Each structure stands twice: as C-alpha cells, then as structure tokens.
Amino acid sequence: MLRRRVDQTASLDERLAEHLRQTEEKVKNLPHGAERIEALKKAEKLRQATAVYNYFLSNELKPPE
C-alpha cells in the first residue's frame, strides 16, 4: 500500500501554531469537564512540540563530539 504524498504549503512551525490557536480557542468555549481537560492537554503537547521544533532550529543545538 502506497501512501499519498502531500505537499505542505505552510511550514511545520506555522501549522503547529495554527493548530495550537484553534485548540486554545476550543478550550475557551468548552465547559469544565473531561473534554476541556483533554483539550488543555493537547494544547500543552502542541506548545511542547513547538518548543522542541524551535530548539532543533536554534544555534543552541550542537552536534555530539
């Protein structure tokens, strides 16, 4: 089975930021409960993914010696 390749029009950073924005907007409109907690967890994972992505692109990351 072959996977379809998708040409991305936005960078990973832009897609993560947009997904995070949408998730945070969703959280604002959810009442307290299990669904809101899951959305908050998802938002935190997206923040962490963005931080890791930015770290990998930064000058702080050095190759092993």
| pLDDT tens digits along 48-59 | 999 888 888 887
Digitized pLDDT (tens) for each residue of the chain, 65 residues in all = 788 887 888 888 899 999 999 999 999 999 999 999 999 999 999 999 998 888 888 877 666 66
- Do residues 62 and 43 lie in contact, with contact meaning Cβ atoms separated by under 8 Å? no
